[in-house]
Structure 1
Amino acid sequence: MLRSVVIVGGGTAGWMTASYLKAAFADRIDVTLVESEAVSRIGVGEATFSTVRHFFDYLGLDEADWLPKCAGGYKLGIRFENWHGDGGHFYHPFERLRMVDGFSLADWWLELGDRSRPMDRSVFLTTALSEAKRSPRMLDGSLFASGLDGSLGRSTLDEQRAQFPYAYHFDADRVAKYLAGYATARGVKHVIDNVQQVVQDERGWISQVQTAEHGALSGDLFIDCTGFRAMLISKTLGTAFQSFEDVLPNNRAVALRVPRETETDMAPYTTATAMKAGWMWTIPLFRRNGNGYVYSDQFISPEEAERELRAAVAPGRDDLEANHIRMRIGRHQDSWVKNCVAIGLSSAFVEPLESTGIFFIQHAIEQLVKHFPDEHFDEGQIAAYNRRIGNAVDGVKEFLVLHYKAARRDDTPYWKEAKVRDMPEGLRERLALAESRLLDEETIYPHYHGFESYSWNAMTLGLGHRPRTPHPALKHLDPARARAEFARIEAQAAEMVAALPSCHEYLAALND
């Protein structure tokens, strides 16, 4: 029977893994986490998917308790600015499209929508809340969307039925610290030390890690959470890495932590602003913003990128320290090799355009529990795990490439290159199909990757990649019910904007 797990590396990936394993297996599995004080944090994973709610509920953690301790805020979606090159914006929210007579409201909008009212404001409710910077919760803590509140309990991504309307922004370092307290209180052994050597047995399997001060740490299963270094999965086991640089251009980022000038001006969304050689993120935390510029060093130098970022978000604040990051975009061919599983950056990373970093961690942990081995390490189970992880990462890759291919920009060398750069063959087919009809669950990327058809359509329509004509069937249907649904969304949005507190007002009350 497999009894001991050694996690190498802390941070968000390490402590999410340690916490989840303890929540799942309690004292039936011994968990040790070893991390070095000398390793710096990447710190770009501050925005999440709405599905992260399953993780915290699985651990039995109350949002009202952990969120204030992690400088947390709400995220109703992502606001994309200047992706047309004209300074305009649109939203990709956490909200499924409503249906009328078998067709989505996006289909109906193409047929008869009021073009003076943008698509996303016509077919989604949460975009109005985003525009008004409203909290998704009333001051009494109740959720604006009835029937979705309450704990999910010990549920997983596979049990996601309803679309929860928000995710979180938080300080990733504080989340790691909070989860470290959770995990160690439940028996995780925390070793602060430097790993000097990874020891393998005669089969090439990892038998122990040798530390500077605590000696050898032995285990049955080893989890690599060492970030881009990939100390176990790559440096020790030599697992092949598949780069995505052929289809995703960005390989660097520079980040700043910026105090907000007006504390009450707190947005409940992530902002992704297109720049001349990449894009800039803005992630509102409770008392500051996280800002960063993701770019390709083929088109701009790190120094120039930092200057552009400072000019955009922190003019005159040369005292703010910039964090320059080299990004390794792609995934290992296998994230589970022998008795080693890579989770987090050591497994895979794509640029954080859709906030997928923590989603990848959560998905990997859940799949590890579902495929947890015994002492025989069944090869079929390991292969099944690797397929699911690889499929999810490849699906996100394809979805991100869509952002560049469908964007109506070609005004700089960077954006010109994005148009002629290679793309996954499946995406080529999907974009061609999207010129004649909206995508559905049968025509988007076919394997689980966290995004549903409404996300694909929100992006293609928002970016300006629309069907040449509306769906022909709609000309033969009575539009009365669709018009009523558009009016209902507008009325509900006005009612919610009037009733809900601002994002900052609610969170200030939660932080008291």
Structure 2
Amino acid sequence: MAKEAIKNITIVGGGSSGWMTAMYLQRLYNQSGGTVKIRLVESKDVGTIGVGEATVHSIRFFFAAMGLDENELLRETNATLKNGIMFRNWMKPKDGQTHEYFHPFEQQRPAGPLDNATAWVQSPKHVSYAQATSISSELISNANSPKTATSPQYQGIVPYGYHLDAILMGKYLRKKACGAGVEHIEANVKHVKTDGETITSIITNKGEFTSDIFIDCTGFKGLLIESLRDNNWQSFEQELPCNKAVAIQRKPLLGQSPKPYTLATALTNGWAWEIDLSNRQGTGYVYDGNRLTRKEAEAELLEHLGDSQEILKTVHLDMKIGCRKEFWIGNCISIGLSGGFIEPLESTGLHIVNVGARLLATHLSSNAPTQPVRDSYNKTLNGIYQDLRQFIILHYCLSDRDDTEFWKQAAKTAAYAKGLPEMLELWRNKTCEFMDLAGGYGTIFNDENYRFILYGMDHTPDLSQPASEYEIQNILQRLAQQQEQADKSAMLHSEFLKLVSK
């Protein structure tokens, strides 16, 4: 029997995840004259969390594919550009200096038979790995953006992400999605009607709605997916115990332009972020709620910030760290926080939404998907979450801090990621390379990203490659020349923001 095409899809929940998904599906099915009805139901009474203010670089491809004007996007969300993340205090001080390292988005390919990492490892190492091999590291040292005066939209000297206001982002995407034809209904869901593991309709204060497919974007509560099956959650809190956050919005730092990078500083029982938007700073403390109270966490964050900037807003958050065992059950698919969450250390929240929505293009091809199709979707997303989980664990397990019980336990977390202890031992004796990670579900972080973390955390291999000093210096000099050329052509971050604001 021939399968029937999808006639309608109902998304429950707004925010960035709901509206990104709505916009993507509207463009996927209807841009060329399709007739799939895309409906989004959201409640006025349920607020957006609105603190996920940084992204990875791949989100640019989503915005570009949706036909959004990048300058308009930046203006509407008070956004700035992000060259990467500066990590501070994740290891003990060395020679009286606070430990820090930089993780950029770029990957500089070697020009000869000897790779860049091996050249740096076997050099005298007068500078860090990022400083030696990364253009982005040089850009931030001079407060430069990744853009030149002539860079096309969504392109730059190096890959870049954004810092943006998450609430404004949701509103902007809603405007664009509705303008493209998405039906928007403001209503409270009172009841989810099910038949076994299939949703037949949702009952709201604005009436009852049926649909071929329901997409759950209701955040941590997972209103739809939870109605279909119990015991469908796998927790990562044993290995990633930071399950609480206090977020503070405050006025811009006086006399300082917005930084073109995120700052992540390790504290006693977690880490604090600092993200500069064009109109304010977002900061917060992601911490282990079993070791600190809300009051203690807020006090430690304020002490860390150490100044008297005017506070605009303070929010305390409870986070579920983990993901669904199955993201797609029956005719319901969970995307965003309803599907899972890994602490925001590498700003992967919107990336996961992007991946989850884009997978629908190949999996959601009829109104009655088969179980093998659902299994494929679930297997892929589970693999992606496990891959991200391992990468986040890497940041913790390499730390040598032992000043609190939190950090003593963090050093033991590699054991929770199958195969990671063996790879860490391997990477003591060779550089981390693509084939070491091949066969996984990496969608954003590759061998180069691993090297920035490994070498930034002093996990460098013991090598004795038969390479001449001349060859090594030639490679590092070539990289230095690329940095210098990029620095000369890049716009100051502050100048770029002025240009966009016009």
Q: TM-score, normalised by structure 1?
A: 0.91
Tell me what 1:129 maps to: 139
Q: 2:400, 2:70 → 1: CA distance?
A: 39
1:166 CA displacement: 0.7
1:379 to 362, 368, 371: 371
Tell me what 2:117 maps to: 106
Residues 200-224 of structure 1 deviation map (CA, whole Å, 9 limit, x = unaligned): 13x4310111111x10011000000
**SS of corresponding position for 1:505:** helix
4+ residue segments displaced more than 6 Å: none
Give matches, 1:48-63, under 5 Å: 48-63=55-70
1:190 CA displacement: 0.4
Tell me what 1:194 maps to: 188
1:29 to 36, 41, 47: 36
1:321 CA displacement: 2.7
1:452 aligns with 2:465: no
1:317 CA displacement: 5.1
1:13 CA displacement: 0.3
Tell me what 2:82 maps to: 75
1:89 CA displacement: 1.4
User: 1:58–1:413: structure 2 CA closer, same or farther, 3 Å change rule?
Assistant: same
Residues 7-42 of structure 1 deviation map (CA, whole Å, 9 limit, x = unaligned): 000000000000001111114310110101111222
1:125 CA displacement: 1.3
1:208 aligns with 2:212: no
Give matches, 1:145-224, under 5 Å: 149=155, 165-201=159-195, 203-212=196-205, 214-224=206-216
1:488 aligns with 2:478: yes
1:92 aligns with 2:111: no
Q: 2:402, 2:111 → 1: CA distance?
A: 37
Give matches, 1:350-365, under 5 Å: 350-365=342-357
Tell me what 1:117 maps to: 127
Give matches, 1:187-266, under 5 Å: 187-201=181-195, 203-212=196-205, 214-238=206-230, 240-262=232-254, 264-266=256-258
User: 1:176–1:263: structure 2 CA closer, same or farther, 3 Å change rule?
Assistant: farther
Q: 2:469, 2:113 → 1: CA distance?
A: 12
**SS of corresponding position for 2:146:** coil
- My pick for the range that moved more, 132-141 or 65-74, is 132-141
Tell me what 1:159 maps to: none
Tell me what 2:148 maps to: 138
Amino acid of the residue matched to residue 14 of structure 2? G
**SS of corresponding position for 2:174:** helix
Q: Is the 8 A contact 1:50 1:164 kept in 2?
A: no
1:270 CA displacement: 1.0
Q: Which runs of 5+ in 2 are unaligned?
A: none
Q: 1:311, 1:301 → 2: CA distance?
A: 15
1:488 CA displacement: 2.5
Q: 1:210, 1:225 → 2: CA distance?
A: 16
Q: 1:261, 1:28 → 2: CA distance?
A: 50
1:479 CA displacement: 4.4
1:14 to 14, 18, 21: 18
1:66 aligns with 2:73: yes
Amino acid of the residue matched to residue 211 of structure 1? T
Q: 1:95, 1:426 → 2: CA distance?
A: 26
Tell me what 1:511 maps to: 501
**SS of corresponding position for 1:48:** coil
RMSD: 1.9
Residue identity over aligned pairs, in percent, reads 33
1:83 CA displacement: 1.0
Give matches, 1:337-486, under 5 Å: 337-421=329-413, 422-444=415-437, 446-467=440-461, 469-470=462-463, 472=464, 474-475=465-466, 477-486=467-476
1:323 CA displacement: 0.6
Amino acid of the residue matched to residue 103 of structure 2? H
Amino acid of the residue matched to residue 434 of structure 2? E
Q: 1:305, 1:52 → 2: CA distance?
A: 31
Q: Is the 8 A contact 1:44 1:352 kept in 2?
A: no
1:237 CA displacement: 3.4
Q: 2:161, 2:245 → 1: CA distance?
A: 23
Q: 1:99, 1:140 → 2: CA distance?
A: 27
Q: Is the 8 A contact 1:250 1:294 kept in 2?
A: yes
- How many corresponding residue pairs? 489
1:236 CA displacement: 4.1
Q: Is the 8 A contact 1:256 1:321 kept in 2?
A: yes
Q: 2:15, 2:72 → 1: CA distance?
A: 20
User: 1:68–1:141: structure 2 CA closer, same or farther, 3 Å change rule?
Assistant: farther
Tell me what 2:492 maps to: 502
Q: 2:161, 2:204 → 1: CA distance?
A: 38
1:485 CA displacement: 2.7
Q: TM-score, normalised by structure 2?
A: 0.93
1:441 CA displacement: 1.4
- My pick for the range that moved more, 331-340 or 491-500, is 491-500
Residues 150-202 of structure 1 deviation map (CA, whole Å, 9 limit, x = unaligned): 9xxxxxxxxxxxx952111111111111111111112111011110000113x
Q: 2:437, 2:202 → 1: CA distance?
A: 43
Residues 79-133 of structure 1 deviation map (CA, whole Å, 9 limit, x = unaligned): 1111123223111101114315333211111112x32222210111110101212
Amino acid of the residue matched to residue 8 of structure 2? S
